[in-house]
Chain A
Amino acid sequence: MISPLGWLIIWIGILFDILGTVGLIRFPDVYNRLQASTKCVTLGTFGIMIGIFLLKGFSPMGIKALICGAFLLLTSPVAAHALMRGSLHFGQKMWKGTVIDQYGVEKLGGAQIEKED
């Protein structure tokens, strides 16, 4: 009973991984790419870890997979936020269809949005 569930969760994780990398190619600017791909790839890799834990049970490999999944779930969004803030301070402009940029107006003295041409 527990083994097909593990394989199902591993396949769902792989599906999320591949959809996240497709989002990395298809979206128009840095911020869209980062928010599309970091969520999908984090959840996908966490799903792979949970699947390995369900397949292996409370063996050393299963416990290490659980620890690695918890670590990824904690650190990957933090890294994505730091990267996004860094690229905003670097001067990377947003896509020209962006509606509002509150952080840029408050902290950087003007919205960081590409001009329409």
Chain B
Amino acid sequence: MSLIFSILAIGGFMCLFRIYKGPSIADRAVGVDIMGVLFVGITALSALFYDLPYLMDLAIALALFSFIGTIALAKYLEKRSLDD
């Protein structure tokens, strides 16, 4: 269990490295997108290990917010307004 969480945490740190280092703003947006999907997996696995079913609801909500945040970042990069 701690091995699984350690491996996924290494993945999260790789995303953080890309967010810190990325040469342009698009690289940082990619890092945020990938880290959101990765955290959905981490939340679902902690729901499995600690046997807490409400963490799975949290995983669904996190997937939804990650999607909406990425769409908003893409609209911002494209220099369009949100209701266009």
Which residues of A are interface residues toward B (Cβ below 8 A)?
10, 13-14, 17-18, 20-22, 24-25, 30, 33-34, 37-38, 41-42, 44-45, 48-49, 52, 55-56, 60-61, 64-65, 67-68, 71-72, 75-76, 78-80, 82-83, 85-87, 89-90, 92
- Give the shortest distance, in Å, between B74 (CB) and chain A (any CB): 4
Question: In the complex, what distance in Å separates the CA atom of A17 from the CA atom of B44?
Answer: 14
Looking at chain A's contact residues, is the secondary structure mostly helix, strand, loop, or mixed? helix
B interface majority secondary structure: helix
Q: Is B4 an interface residue (CB 8 A)?
A: yes
**How distant is the Cα of A82 from the Cα of B27 in the complex, in angstroms?**
14
Chain B hits for A42, CB < 8 A: 37
Number of A-B contacts (CB under 8 A): 144
Contact of B74 among A14, A67, A82 (CB under 8 A): A82
Which residues of A sit under 8 angstroms from B45, Cβ to Cβ? 10, 48, 52
Are the C-beta atoms of A37 and B30 separated by less than 8 Å? yes
Complex A-B: 17 CB contacts under 8 Å: A14-B7, A17-B11, A24-B30, A25-B17, A25-B18, A41-B34, A44-B41, A45-B37, A52-B47, A68-B44, A72-B37, A79-B66, A83-B26, A86-B29, A90-B26, A90-B79, A92-B26
